[in-house]
Structure 1
């Protein structure tokens, strides 16, 4: 789930996973409260949870969203995961552990392993500081929205002291794993990276333009999950917020998220804007272009923060291939497409939020970049056909 602003770990172990809903391992965020580091006072935060029922402990449970989801008993989920055995473990994060389970495709009742559909089951760690609030937030938001580029929440369990969430299974794991884990022998191609960026942009654009505007707040590579065809789906709505009320420009919250991805205005003031998400998208887009993490203290001095290091180069055409683009995808993209992607990244990373594009505009630009590749292929095919005819004559 989302975490307090994290200091970058010196080493990222592929076996230490955040709660991904797929099979591939990720990395664990080290958490430290920004308020305690910088002496900021915690400001009020609207929970965004819609509901009217309570379990007697003062915890409010969302009722309308719950009715749209299947309520599982703890016994059912225990059976689906083979009693939460270690060989069913997918990952672990601040929320708790994530297990793979098997359910009947139509009835969503437990089945034996290999039968029915595989699902990902998050089990709340009772010692988690903010896990229960995030459990509620997941239901509140994923219970009310549905989109091909958002991970689908199938149901929940609140059985005495056990709190769990059940999601569709994402077989390719997270974008973070495919971009950064050295165990991957085949790097993501340019076309696949662009496809992932477009899918994630569609998901964010949907949230920003939905009837009850939603600010995602924790957009990062580890929260973008991939299906079998590398279609991107945004996961982990534990830190999501309802957008500002009519007449307001922002939502005031306590500052929480992940170092390297959060927008500068949010870090400075706790004021959360829709375009704060656009900044986070720009960071991920830069990671896709460069093939490097937003933060890595193992890099040389001055290069630890990817945005600070690369931002001056994004507007320089001469630095495109030598400094910006990942050498692992060299030759797979047109210069025009790469340059346009770099320009879009720079626009998303503007310090002035008003100068950032909307996610709808970002999506439109990415689709136009994708079309550059298509047009180039058609032109090459036509030229080859023309050359063949000349040779025949």
Structure 2
């Protein structure tokens, strides 16, 4: 048996190409399973793929500077856990026992800041990092988020925790969680565009449930800094939609492109910023037989699986040069869940590949 040579050049067509026995007519029907799975789905069903809509709007909590100083031991370096587009990030322990992540930057008090925080804190979903509230004092602006103890996915696949063995099934579940988070943002009315989706902005908790971080943060920064265009605020270039680079206009399909790069990083175990060859490989619409060249050596044993091929095909579809020809995030969720169902049906050993890691929260003292 060999790969069907007539596979089209589009990611969507590539996604549905599979290894078949030409003598078996019954196998031919499976070529169209991906698209048939979407037929008959109502708009309301698809809009809820990302998870249930948030409950009644929640009021953003206003934290005092003194409260946050106590939580972080006066923003001690021992509690400094990172730095992002908003500023330095500290781990804090509130008096009620809640562990939080505090993002801190210099900035004069702005009503626009409060308005944006109130909106963003009302968005709740299992696969989104929750924004609890804010602080504006002494020319400082702070955002207080839930603390996600296991850190970013980037740390686990090519960063400081990359020795962790994440099997394909584990990476697939991470992809599903992140996709649901993005799909939920896009299901809002009007849709909320992430604008800075990347592997470093997907966090995992102690159960390795993926949570998308910094949702809406670019909008907030653009509003309070009055940056002229979004391009001035953008971070990692390799995750940026080429159409955005040309037009300066961001769309839902721009987030989809970024998600495609995320999928490529998941399957390759490499940073696209350090090695852009995987993106060039995918954009050339490669034949599946050449996919081994980008697959993480830890996943080589999974390369021959149908799920792996569909996963790579989905990534190729997401980074199609034309935004109109990319899938929606609802479609991405559906396809990932189909892949997961196939993988589960092929698994006979319960608990195979469950990662064992050191929690990031254990590395810092509150």
TM-score, normalised with respect to structure 2: 0.71
Separation in 2, partners of 1:333, 1:136: 48
> Match for residue 124 of structure 1?
105
1:142 aligns with 2:115: no
Which residue is 2:193 aligned to? 215
Whole-angstrom distance in 2 between the partners of 1:240 and 1:143: 14
Q: 2:92 aligns with which of 91, 101, 117?
A: 101
Q: How does 1:221-260 map to 2 (within 5 A)?
A: 221-236=199-214, 237-240=216-219, 253-255=229-231, 256-257=233-234, 258-260=236-238
1:323 is aligned to 293
Q: Does 1:77 align with 2:55?
A: no
- Mapped to 2, the partners of 1:340 and 1:135 lie a distance apart of 42
Which residue is 1:311 aligned to? 283
**Equivalent position SS for 1:292:** coil
- Give the Å deviation of 1:253: 4.5
Distance 1:206 1:323, change over 3 A: same
Which whole-Å CA distance do the structure 1 matches of 2:115 and 2:156 have between them?
28
Higher RCO (CA 8 Å, separation ≥ 6 residues): 2
Gaps of 5+ in 2: 1-56, 221-227, 351-366
- 2:177 maps to which of 199, 206, 223: 199
Q: What SS class does the counterpart of residue 266 from structure 1 fall into?
A: helix
Q: Are the structure 2 counterparts of residues 192 and 125 from structure 1 closer, same or farther at C-alpha, using a change threshold of 3 Å?
A: farther
Change in 2 beyond 3 A, CA 1:371/1:92: same
| Alignment coverage as a number of residue pairs | 285
Unaligned residue ranges in structure 1 (runs of 5+): 1-64, 104-109, 242-251, 297-302, 382-393
1:208 positional shift: 0.7
Higher helix share: 2
Cα RMSD, aligned residues only:
2.7
Distance 2:146 2:230 in 1: 30
Cα gap change, 1:173 to 1:77, in 2 (>3 Å): same
Could you say what secondary structure the match of 2:129 adopts?
coil
Aligned CA distance change for structure 1 residues 226 and 207 (closer, same or farther; 3 Å): same
Distance in 1 of aligned mates of 2:207 and 2:249? 37
Aligned to 2:135: 157
The 2-side partners of 1:367 and 1:266 are apart by 29
**Cα 1:305–1:333 shift into 2, 3 Å:** closer
SS in structure 1 of the partner of residue 142 of structure 2: strand
Residue number in structure 2 paired with 1:354: 324
TM norm structure 1: 0.67
Q: CA deviation at 1:375?
A: 1.1
User: Counterparts of 1:316 and 1:134 in 2: how far apart (Å)?
Assistant: 50
